[in-house]
Structure 1
Amino acid sequence: MSRAADIARLTIAPLFVIAGTVHLLRPALFEPVMPPGVPHPLLVIMVTGAAELAGAAALFVPKLRWLAGTMLAVYAVCVYPANILHAVRDLSTGTGLGWAYHYPRLFAQPFICWWALTAGGVTGGRRS
């Protein structure tokens, strides 16, 4: 396992633990940003929180690490529409978090995907 993967794992896993915990303990925060048409939004929020926690933990299990990094990156892609909707709603009403939050958040998504892949040992051409 490379040093970069070790650092990525030690830095991204806590963020997914925090996000997953907030999803499970405060799901109402996420309901307004669920894209229309998502069935059973509360259940989806709870499942995504559990997925974040499971993915973060799996990054520390060598046999699951590659899959965890891959799935966390896929997860980051899948939640991007909710991030966009959140930004549009907040910025159009002026009642939300504003550009200082949304601009970096929206443009950080590819980095988050790369970070998860690195944490899982997916990048660098060898499986770990």
Structure 2
Amino acid sequence: MSRSERSPLLLAGLLATSGVAHFAAPRQFDAIVPRVLPGAARAWTYASGAAELALAAGVALPRTRRAAALATAAFFVGVFPANVQMALDWRGRPAPLKAASLGRLPLQLPLVLWARGVAKGGEGRS
């Protein structure tokens, strides 16, 4: 299997793992739901987990890969405010946790580029 064939499956695996985590350990995700969103945090946690599972399935299937990968790129942009919320909330935590929360912020860009690359049939460099 070539690298360009593995890339979509790795992205699908990342999405699936994260999606399952939203259901298996929802409290950690509830805590980073931006408070400006209406309704219960748990509803947003489950909705985003379900979205990740659907995106994973779409990216894994060649027939739906392009559309699902573009939707994944948009999803990664859409969840960025949760990472910002986490960084703000974790300002007073011990240095390693604070660093982890801040480190998540720039990681969104490579994820968006990876998803765009999968949509284009490449490896994520666009």
Q: Same fold (TM over 0.5)?
A: yes
Cα separation, 1, equivalents of 2:68 and 2:106 = 23
TM norm structure 2: 0.83
How many pairs align?
Answer: 120
TM norm structure 1: 0.82
Any gaps of 5 or more consecutive residues in structure 1?
none
- Displacement of 1:123 after TM fit? 5.9
Cα separation, 2, equivalents of 1:44 and 1:30 = 9
Is this contact kept in 2: 1:70–1:122, CA < 8 A?
no
Secondary structure in 2 matching 1:105:
helix
Of the structure 1 ranges 74-83 and 40-49, higher mean CA displacement relative to structure 2 is found in 40-49
- Greater relative contact order (CA < 8 Å, ≥ 6 in sequence): 1
Is this contact kept in 2: 1:21–1:49, CA < 8 A?
yes
Cα RMSD (Å): 2.0
Any gaps of 5 or more consecutive residues in structure 2?
none
Task: Name the counterpart of 1:53.
Answer: 53
Cα separation, 1, equivalents of 2:43 and 2:8 = 28
- The residue correspondences of 1:15-94 to structure 2 (distance < 5 A) are 15-40=14-39, 41-91=41-91, 93-94=92-93
Of the structure 1 ranges 76-85 and 10-19, higher mean CA displacement relative to structure 2 is found in 10-19
Secondary structure in 2 matching 1:39:
coil
